[in-house]
Amino acid sequence: MKIYIQHTISILLLIFTSNFVFAQKQSINIFGTLVEEETAQPIPYATVVAYNSETDEIISGTTTDDNGRFNTATANTNIYFEISFMGYQTKTIKEISFLNVLNNNLDLGTIQLSPDNLALDEVVIVGEVSKTVFKLDKRVFNVGKDISSTGVSALEVLNNVPSVNVNIEGEVSLRGSGGVQILINGKPSVLADQSSNALGTITADMIESIEVITNPSAKYEASGTSGILNIILKKEEKQGWNGSISANTGIPDNHSIGGSINRRTEKFNLFSQFGAGYRSLPRDREAINRNLTNGETVFSNGEEFRNETFFNITLGTDYHLNEYNVFTLSGNFAYEIEDQPSETNFSFFEGDNLISRWTRNETTEATNPKWQYEFNWKKTFQDNEDHTFQLSALGSFFGKDQSSLFTDTTIEGENVDSNQRTATDFLQADYTFKADYVNPITEQYNIEIGAQYVINDVGNDFEVQDFINDEYVTNEDLTNNFEWVQKVLGIYATGAYENDTWGLKLGLRVENTDLNTLLTNTNEDNSQNFTNVFPTVHSSYKLGENFSLQAGYSKRIFRPRLWDLNPFFNIRNNFNIWAGNPNLQPEFTHSYELTSIYKIGKASLSSSLYHRYTTDVVERVSTFEDNVTFSTPENIGTNSTIGFETNGKYSPVNWLTLTSDFNFNYFDRKGTFEGQVFDFTGSQWSTRLGSKIGLPADIDLELNGNYQSGFETVQGEQSGFAFLDLGIRKKIFKGKIVANLGIRDVFASRIQERFVNQPTFETYDYSLRGRFITFGISYGFGKGEAMTYSGRRR
| Phi and psi at residue 671, to the nearest 5° | 175, 160
Greatest mean pLDDT among 187-196, 237-246, 279-288: 279-288
Closest C-alpha among 492, 476, 511, 365 to residue 438: 492
Beta-strand ranges (E) seen in 636-679 are: 638-653, 656-670, 672-673, 676-677
Percent of residues in the chain assigned helix, strand, coil, to nearest 5: 10, 65, 25
Higher pLDDT, 181 or 148: 181
DSSP output for 458-488? EEEEEEEEEEETTEEEE-TTT-EEEEEEEEE
Q: How far apart are CA 389 and CA 382, in angstroms?
A: 12
Q: How far apart are CA 192 and CA 659, in angstroms?
A: 24
pLDDT tens digit string along 198-212?
A: 565 565 556 778 888
Neighbour tally for 223: CB within 10 Å: 15
CB 83 within 8 A of CB 50: no
Helix (H/G/I), strand (E/B), else coil: 303 = strand
Q: Is 787 exposed, middle or buried (0-12, 13-18, 19+ CB in 10 A)?
A: buried
Q: What is the mean pLDDT of residues 690-705?
A: 87
CA distances from 405 to 113, 182, 466, 477, 738 (A): 64, 40, 10, 18, 43
pLDDT of 286 over the 90 cut: yes
Q: What is the mean pLDDT of residues 555-564?
A: 81
Q: What is the mean pLDDT of residues 679-686?
A: 89
| Phi and psi at residue 637, to the nearest 5° | 65, -145
Greatest mean pLDDT among 72-81, 90-99, 246-255: 246-255
pLDDT tens digit string along 641-668?
A: 998 988 888 888 878 888 888 889 899 9
* Cis peptide bond N-terminal to 652, omega within 30: no
What is the pLDDT confidence band of residue 375, given thresholds at 50, 70 and 90?
very high
DSSP annotation of 193 reads: -
pLDDT tens digit string along 415-451?
A: 877 888 999 998 989 899 999 999 999 989 999 999 9
pLDDT of 291 over the 90 cut: yes
Q: What is the mean pLDDT of residues 678-704?
A: 87
pLDDT of 23 over the 50 cut: no
Q: How far apart are CA 554 and CA 216, in angstroms?
A: 8
Closest C-alpha among 579, 557, 578 to residue 566: 579
Higher pLDDT, 350 or 162: 350
Q: What is the structure's pLDDT at 600?
A: 81
Instruction: Please provide the distance, in angstroms rounded to a whole number, between the alpha carbons at the two ends of the chain.
Output: 44
Q: Is 696 exposed, middle or buried (0-12, 13-18, 19+ CB in 10 A)?
A: exposed
Q: What is the mean pLDDT of residues 562-569?
A: 75
- Tell me if the pTM is above 0.85: no
Q: What is the structure's pLDDT at 490?
A: 95
List 377's β-bridge partners, or say none.
327, 391
Higher pLDDT, 25 or 413: 413
The CA radius of gyration of the chain, in Å to the nearest whole number, is 31
Q: What is the structure's pLDDT at 10?
A: 47
Q: What is the structure's pLDDT at 295?
A: 92
pLDDT of 734 over the 80 cut: no
Q: What is the structure's pLDDT at 609?
A: 93
What is the pLDDT confidence band of residue 120, given thresholds at 50, 70 and 90?
very low
CB 465 within 8 A of CB 473: yes
Share of the chain above pLDDT 70, in %: 83
CB 293 within 8 A of CB 328: no
Contacts of 112 (CB under 8 A, 6+ apart): 34, 35, 36, 37, 40, 91
Average pLDDT of the residues of the chain: 81
pLDDT of 366 over the 50 cut: yes
Torsion of CA 113, 236, 183, 326, to 10 degrees: -130
Q: How far apart are CA 498 and CA 401, in angstroms?
A: 54
Beta-strand ranges (E) seen in 671-760 are: 672-673, 676-677, 680-695, 699-708, 711-712, 716-718, 721-732, 737-744, 751-757
Q: Which of 13-17, 483-487, 510-514 has the least mean pLDDT? A: 13-17
Q: How far apart are CA 442 and CA 496, in angstroms?
A: 11
Q: What is the structure's pLDDT at 160?
A: 66
Q: What is the structure's pLDDT at 260?
A: 77
Q: What is the structure's pLDDT at 187?
A: 62
Contacts of 696 (CB under 8 A, 6+ apart): none
Q: Which domains does the chain have, with CATH numbers?
A: 2-117 (2.60.40.10), 127-237 (2.170.130.10), 537-715 (no CATH)
pLDDT tens digit string along 33-83?
A: 988 876 677 787 678 888 888 887 778 778 787 678 888 888 777 888 888
Q: What is the structure's pLDDT at 144?
A: 56
Q: How far apart are CA 231 and CA 157, in angstroms?
A: 10
Higher pLDDT, 700 or 95: 700
- Vertex 669: Cα angle to 665 and 670 (nearest 5): 160
Q: What is the mean pLDDT of residues 726-741?
A: 83
Helix (H/G/I), strand (E/B), else coil: 351 = coil
CB 280 within 8 A of CB 339: no
Closest C-alpha among 545, 589, 495 to residue 137: 495
Greatest mean pLDDT among 44-53, 89-98, 307-316: 307-316
Q: How far apart are CA 34 and CA 16, in angstroms?
A: 25
Higher pLDDT, 119 or 82: 82
pLDDT of 542 over the 70 cut: yes
